[in-house]
Amino acid sequence: MSEIKADLLKQKDNMVHCISADCKASQGIADQMVKKGLIGREMLQSVHPEITDVISTTYPGRTIYNLVTKSNYKSLCDALTTLKKVILRDRIKTLSIPKLGCGLDKLQWYRVKQMISYIFKDSD
């Protein structure tokens, strides 16, 4: 895992970010992704996901993984565990990841980063 400072929305790689269970995607990175046409609010809302689900949206050359979380570490950890299963199934080798849960959800990046490292430690 390497950490760089970049605009997530300008990355051409597969991406992951958090959304709430109501799938409104009306704030933060999710809202920006809707406005850029990277994810569809109506599509997300039609799924009716549970907390910790991962909703995949595929575009030519990349996939966006929408992690359904609450504002806590447990739901993020569970969603990341689900994400690992999904990306292994999809044979994804790289992801652009923002500081998950550290904006609107006010989680601490050093804890989230440790969680990501731990969950993905035995993967490519």
Q: Which residues are catalytic, by number?
A: 70, 105
- What separation in angstroms does the CA of 37 have from each of 32, 34, 41, 66, 75? 9, 5, 9, 14, 27
Q: CA-to-CA distance for 77 and 7, rounded, in angstroms?
A: 24
Note whether 79 and 52 are within 8 A (CB).
yes
